[in-house]
Amino acid sequence: MVTAADRAATTAAAGEAARLIQQTPGVLAVAPPQPNAAGTTALLTIIPKAGPTAAATEDAVHAIRAKVAAIGGAEIAVTGATAVGIDVSDKLADAMPVYLLLVVGLSVLLLMLVFRSILVPVKAALGFLLTVGSTFGITVAIFQEGHLAGLLGVDVPGPLVSFLPILLIGILFGLAMDYEVFLVSRMREDYVHGDTPRQATINGMGHNARVVTAAALIMTAVFGGFVFMNDPIIKSMGFALAVGVLVDAFVVRMTLVPAVMSMLGRAAWWLPRALDRALPDLDVEGERLRHHLTARAASPEHALL
């Protein structure tokens, strides 16, 4: 779209833009400028050689913008559904590292407060990244590259919707941290109350694994129901969330977490003294209350009562 102060400037800028765009790699054709009644705005329809979601089309859009930026005397914008989709994808890609760092960083800090440990939060964060990476890989392999696509009713493989990673990370993060807290909180409680690290891990899995299993199966059934939809966007979202829940619950939380906790032993609950003093003690296990009740029961005044 070319906008200028008068008809002559608009016509000149539109003609120059059409010439430059036609010379851009990846452009098949450029339609003649279509001015409005006042002659201050002209539309040029660009037909790329590749499809709207192809990488070559994205390169062509960036190249066109770089070329027409040098045209003076007019305001030129490359817009339309294809260009807007490319812009949204670029913005989300730029925001992804910050978003992921914020999510993972806050989870590490919160789990450090709850479990009074460094390695447990780091393990939880790394497990979440493993879940996200595995889910993205499986989803891309099926919906974008077409492997086993026929089993899920995917007729034509294509690029995933641009906001799927943001949505997937947000939902899976909440579920993953829930499963982590379900399992590790009981391990921490038993360890604080005197069990060995290995026995605390066994107790945590024995008491809470069934809760995590039931919760994961419920969420998998909910998300998996969307796989039967005809809309490929909804189908890909439901599949990615269902796979993410299965990977996180059964591979990461109930397989890798107890294995890592057993190998770490007492080191899993280590926290530097300086950091221990700096962080507020939430006393999730009620250790201070237990000591208070024990001391009260042993006091002479309580014995006289």
What the block records as the tokens of 189 is 């409680």
User: Which of residues 295 and 101 earns the better pLDDT score?
Assistant: 101
Note the pLDDT of residue 38. 86
Note the pLDDT of residue 291. 58
Q: State phi, psi for 269 to the nearest 5 degrees.
A: -105, 20
Q: Tokens 């309580």, residue?
A: 302
E strand intervals along the chain:
2-3, 27-30, 34-35, 41-43, 46-48, 75-76
Strands 34-35 and 27-30: unpaired
Q: Which own/partner contact pairs does 59-65 have at CB distance under 8 Å and 24+ positions apart?
A: 59/25, 59/26, 60/24, 60/25, 60/26, 60/27, 61/86, 63/24, 63/25, 63/26, 64/20, 64/21, 64/24, 64/27
Closest CA to 268 of 174, 179, 204, 178: 204
**Residue range 280-297: mean pLDDT, rounded:** 63
User: At 260, is the pLDDT very low, low, confident or very high (cuts 50, 70, 90)?
Assistant: very high
Radius of gyration (C-alpha) of the chain in whole angstroms: 29
Q: Which of 36-45, 46-55, 224-233, 272-281 has the lowest mean pLDDT?
A: 272-281
Tens digits of residue pLDDT in 182-211:
899 889 888 888 889 999 999 989 888 999
Note the pLDDT of residue 153. 83
Confidence check: pLDDT of 149 > 60:
yes
